[in-house]
Amino acid sequence: MRRLVFVVVALFTMLSPAAALAATAPPGSSGDGSTQAVAPTTTIDNTFLDTKRNLTDCLDNPIGLPECGVEPTHPGDPGGPLQAITFGLLALGIFIICWRVVRSVKARDAALQSQITDAR
């Protein structure tokens, strides 16, 4: 019985704000039943919409096209100098790893070749 009372009270509690909101006049109405059109004041603060191309060309293409987006303003922005430095460091790291592997393979081959010549 307690559960049933709890469920009924919870339902009335959840439904009462909706009923109170429905009783108030909508924004833009004078309260006498007549409504006037209210222009929506939506502003979009999105830097990706500031493009020099048609927006549909930018959105329909999975690869970023030139002139889609904005120029980087901070060093960490896409296309900024920190992105180029990061790419350079990654390329340098891969080069060092490959250089070490090639050097160790050459050292191993030289050691095996010296063992073969010493065994003869």
- Domain residue limits, the chain: 73-120
| Structure-model confidence comparison of residues 32 and 104, the more confident one | 104
Q: Taking 80 as the threshold, does the pLDDT of residue 81 lie above it?
A: yes
DSSP letter assigned to residue 75: T
Which residues lie across from 35 on neighbouring strands? 29
| Structure-model confidence comparison of residues 85 and 80, the more confident one | 85
Which residues lie across from 29 on neighbouring strands? 35
Q: Taking 80 as the threshold, does the pLDDT of residue 3 lie above it?
A: no
pLDDT digits (tens, 9 = 90+) for 46-56: 655 666 677 77
Query: SS3 string of 62-81?
Result: CCCCCCCCCCCCCCCCCCCH
pLDDT at residue 60, as a whole number:
78
H or E element: which one contains 88? Answer: helix 81-119
55 neighbors 69 (Cβ within 8 angstroms) = no
- Taking residues 72-97, what's their average pLDDT? 90
